[in-house]
Amino acid sequence: MSETTNTSIYAKLGQVMQSIKAIGKNQTNEQQHFKFRGIDDFMNELHDHLAEAGIIIIPSETEHLQEQFTTKNGTAQFRTRLHMKFTFVSTADGSSITADGWGEAADSGDKGYNKCKSIALKYVLMQMFLVPTKDLTDPDSETPDPVQPQNISADLELALQLVKEANNVTDLEQVWREHTGFQSDKVFYNAVMNRKKQLS
């Protein structure tokens, strides 16, 4: 009896999950001095695995929110929130599954929309595939390092990005108000204080 190949999207996604390698925080935010994983890191790691498994991703926008502010210099500042759905399709049999996520970004030009799409995709990929963050050959061979500021959550990473992109003190104060859960976090607090000094 010949073995039947499972072509369903679920089997294909499992194949990808077994193949991907760890994606470390190899990029550095120069202003707030924290490490992060960029969308390029995810695309570079996952592209070949998705292609080999025969999976395509179809993005669609479901909700687009944008607020406009005027800086003290009279220039426009935009804060964009975008809800995206990503449909993962098996090219072998057309079966599919959809995952969704939000992206948030602030920008004074026209890049906020694209930033949101990239952020939403990054976190969907990270959470969907449970992307490993570190290679460990033997779990007992290493002692965990003390928690450092760079070991931050995805939500805090996004909040710090908004701090970095604030173009004036008013926008910075709004970022502070919108992230009350991080106001007692030293990394977030210091980032806001440092950015306020730069903008003052």
Distance, in Å, from the CA atom of 39 to the CA atom of 196, rounded to the nearest integer, reads: 28
Q: State the pLDDT at residue 158.
A: 81
Distance, in Å, from the CA atom of 58 to the CA atom of 180, rounded to the nearest integer, reads: 35
Nearest 10 degrees: Cα torsion 187, 192, 198, 199: 170
Predicted confidence (pLDDT) per residue in 107-138, tens digit: 776 788 888 999 999 999 999 998 887 654 44
Region of poorest pLDDT, from 80-84, 103-107, 142-146: 142-146
Predicted confidence (pLDDT) at residue 186 exceeds the cutoff of 80: yes
Predicted confidence (pLDDT) at residue 146 exceeds the cutoff of 70: no
Q: Which of 9 and 163 is assigned the larger pLDDT?
A: 9
**Third-level CATH fold of 9-134:** Enolase-like; domain 1 (3.30.390)
**Most confidently modeled range among 22-31, 68-77, 93-102, 152-161:** 93-102
Distance, in Å, from the CA atom of 120 to the CA atom of 117, rounded to the nearest integer, reads: 5
Predicted confidence (pLDDT) at residue 190 exceeds the cutoff of 80: yes
Q: At 82, which amino acid appears?
A: L
Predicted confidence (pLDDT) at residue 47 exceeds the cutoff of 90: yes
Mean pLDDT of 94-111: 87
Q: State the pLDDT at residue 13.
A: 95
